[in-house]
Chains A and B, each alone.
Chain A
Amino acid sequence: MSKFLNATLIITLLAVPVFAGGIGRLATPDEVIAWDIDIRPDGLGLPEGSGTVADGETIFDAQCAVCHGDFGEGVDRWPALAGGFDTLTSDRPLKTVGSFWPYLSTVWDYINRAMPFGNAQSLSADEVYALTAYIMYLNEIVDDEDFELSKANFRDLPLGNEANFYPDDRPLTEYPLFTEACMIDCKSSVEISKYASGKDVTPE
């Protein structure tokens, strides 16, 4: 009897719906809202809100520049967020939001879920819009400090590199080439062409 009452009480207190079908229970709408924070390139998941480049610069200087640099150039080994234009075909490509990232939604989503490093999920939606706008500004996607990014205009200014991504083509471009396995007299001579020694980068 008391066990039954306790069970009823707990369910009432938690105010969660019970799913009679099997294992687990139904999620409440508020629970889904609390955890479903992701957004997609088509804007699905974006909350209401807005922020300007100028707002974003203030937040960036206070919370982001210590790692990413005043102009998004990246301090030490921390990631650069801006620049690197026309470097993707070079020997040392610099893959930034402006030079490489295919979707602006990825910037918003990542800041919102994981930044600032060590204080994740602390920014308001307006602050995330503002920071995203500022990173657009650092990458010369917008040039007006009064530019305001919002849910309404989010898809109006796509990043430039989307068309340069394509699905894994290894089954066509690689796998047919890698099927031979010579066993004897496979080459006439062997020379060492490169050494790791002398580079002095191996930990103790």
Chain B
Amino acid sequence: MSNKSGPSRRKFLTTGLVAGIAATGARAGAGDPAITNVQPWAQVLGKGVDERGYGMPSPHEAHVLRKSVPWLTAVDTSSINFTPLHQLDGIITPNGLAFERHHSGVAEINPSEYRLMINGLVDRPMVFTLQDLMRFPRHNKVYFLECTANSGMEWRGPQLNGVQFTHGMIHNVMYTGVMLKDILAEAGIKTEGKWLLAEGADAAGLTRSIPMEKVLDDCMIAFKMNGEALRAEQGYPVRLVVPGWEGNMWIKWLRRLEIGDQPWHHREETARYTDLLPSGNARRFTWVMDAKSVITEPSPQAPILHGKGPTVITGIAWSGQGIIPRVDVTIDGGVSWHKARVDGPSLDKSTHRFYFEFDWDGKPLLLQSRAHDTTGYVQPTKDALRKIRGEVSNYHNNGIQTWSVDSDGVVENVEIS
């Protein structure tokens, strides 16, 4: 009952009415009470149009939440939470469920005090307000953003029993923004300018160096996600979009762009987000996120509850190198593979949704998915990656994920031979 439905007398009458109808329904005959009973929502008035100026999910969806893994980090203001992939479908991540990673908490910026500065090797150091940025030609692009550390905890072996935690450092939204090259043209990049430093306005002042070739190719400055203003935790009012490249580079709360003739080698591109190999050497500037896929349902948090018979397997696939022309699925641990059905938009550097429908005989399953991208790259196994990168290089884990399904439909995170 609504708390705003009026005097208690009305509430009493309404409650009595519902009870009476339920009793009537029960007398109506055999059948599913969800059908034979008149439900309260079919009888009484719902909330009016002025109840929810900003709509929220049904109260029955209150369990669909981003979640963190508390033991991962020292404090929740320099931490990460995870997109509930097992509860989503299609390719678009709802804004309120897009995973968050920030290094000094969420900056809450007053848009009237927002400024973007361009300096360094430019003809004219410049300042733009948010209104200024909106005067450049706008573009709409759907891109995935994956944290470099996504699946990192799974590198040495299966650890977290849920696709939200193994693969949930990713979101995929439509950005509205302006091309970085259009804004930089106002300042005029000097010919010796080969790198761009992007800097956040938050208390971490996060910085990354980006080569000019990428800057001038497809980088954007976004102020909208899925049609509405960026969420504060995603960089409101303005974030950088670096399509297909590791999420750490997509500077949130973007305040400054500096042009230089060499990279800055700041913390997030030296001490962090570099790939230590068995030799003791480390790869740096490993920007591209390679082709990857995962079955989101069934998965440990989304077991098969309906028993044997027609069963839907679904998941997402993505690549920082382009589109996903093909996804394969196995239900027998990789003895035989089947081409999955990609459904919905197939967009450059966006997640793709795939399905594989089959008739489950109720016997245990070993599920995997395998993404192909436009370069001909095929998603490798974790063993194949570890053979090259060793046991400790846990960034950029795009290895194949295995889910074990038992005869009751319970799903577990495993690795197989």
Cβ-defined contact, B207 with A38, below 8 A: yes
What 0/1 pattern do residues 259 to 303 of B give for CB contact below 8 A with A? 010101111001100101011111111111010000000001000
Which of A78, A88, A178, A199 gathers most chain B CB within 10 Å?
A: A178
Q: Which residues of B contact A67 (CB under 8 A)?
A: 74
B384 touches A42 (CB 8 A): no
In the complex formed, the residue of B with least CB distance to A76 is B74
| Interface segment, one of A46-54, A56-64, A104-112 | A104-112
**Does B412 belong to the interface (CB within 8 Å)?**
yes
Q: How far is the CB of A74 from chain B (nearest CB, A)?
A: 9
Question: Is the beta-carbon distance between A118 and B376 smaller than 8 angstroms?
Answer: no
B136 interface residue per 8 A CB criterion: yes
* CB proximity to B under 8 Å, residues A91-116: 91-93, 95, 97, 100-103, 105-106, 109-110, 113-114
For the complex, is B337 an interface residue (Cβ under 8 Å from A)?
yes
Which of B27-35, B43-51, B328-336 lies at the interface with chain A? B328-336
8 intermolecular pairs with C-beta atoms under 8 Å apart: A38-B258, A91-B392, A114-B204, A167-B283, A170-B286, A185-B336, A195-B414, A202-B161
Contact between A109 and B266 (Cβ–Cβ < 8 Å)? Answer: yes
A22 to B74, CA, bound (A): 47
The size of the chain A interface, using a CB distance under 8 A, is 79
- Chain B binder among A23-31, A133-141, A148-156: A23-31
Complex Cα gap A130–B335 (Å): 61
Q: What are the residues of chain B within 8 A of A24 when measuring CB–CB?
A: 126-129, 132, 186
By the criterion CB–CB under 8 Å, are A77 and B73 in contact? yes
In the assembled complex, which residues on chain B have CB atoms less than 8 Å from the CB atom of A181?
328, 337, 370, 372, 378
Q: Which 9 A-B pairs have CB atoms at the shortest separation, nearest pair first?
A: A190-B333, A113-B205, A196-B413, A77-B74, A196-B158, A27-B125, A88-B280, A194-B415, A24-B128
| Inter-chain contact total with CB atoms closer than 8 Å | 242
Does B42 lie at the interface of the complex (its beta carbon under 8 Å from any beta carbon of A)? no
Q: Which of A36, A39, A92, A191 has the most CB of B within 10 A?
A: A36
**A27-B118, A36-B120, A165-B282 given. 20 additional CB < 8 A pairs?**
A19-B124, A22-B186, A25-B127, A31-B117, A37-B205, A40-B262, A91-B392, A95-B276, A100-B282, A102-B265, A106-B267, A110-B266, A113-B204, A113-B205, A164-B282, A166-B282, A166-B283, A174-B388, A186-B337, A202-B165
Contacts of A113 in B (CB 8 A): 204-205, 207
- Of A88, A101, A168, which is within 8 A of B287 by CB? A168
Contacts of A78 in B (CB 8 A): 74
Instruction: Name B166's closest neighbour in chain A (CB-CB).
Output: A196
Which residues of chain B come closer than 8 Å to A13, judged between CB atoms?
Answer: none
A-facing residues in B154-170 (Cβ within 8 Å):
157-162, 165
Write the chain A residue with the least CB distance to B201. A35
- B275: nearest chain-A partner, CB-CB: A168
Q: What does the 1/0 interface line of A168-198 toward B look like (CB < 8 Å)?
A: 1110011101111111111101111111110
Residues of A whose CB lies within 8 Å of any CB of B are 16, 19, 21-27, 31-32, 35-42, 44, 67, 76-78, 88-89, 91-93, 95, 97, 100-103, 105-106, 109-110, 113-114, 117-118, 120-121, 164-170, 173-175, 177-187, 189-197, 199, 201-203
CA distance A71 to B123 in the complex (A): 46
Which residues in B have their C-beta under 8 angstroms from that of A38? 197, 199, 207, 258, 264, 266
User: Is there contact, CB below 8 Å, between B337 and A31?
Assistant: no
Asked if B358 is at the interface of the complex by the 8 Å CB criterion, the answer is no
Question: Please, which residue of chain B has its CB at the minimum distance from the CB of A100?
Answer: B271
Q: Let me know if B412 and A178 touch, CB within 8 A.
A: no
Q: Are B412 and A197 in contact (CB under 8 A)?
A: yes
Contact B283 A186 (CB under 8 A): no
What residue in chain B is nearest A105 (Cβ atoms)? B265
Give the shortest distance, in Å, between A186 (CB) and chain B (any CB): 6
CB of B25 closer than 8 Å to a CB of A? no
Q: Is B17's beta carbon under 8 Å from chain A?
A: no
Cβ–Cβ contact A23 & B135, under 8 A:
yes
| Closest chain B CB from A41 CB (angstroms) | 5
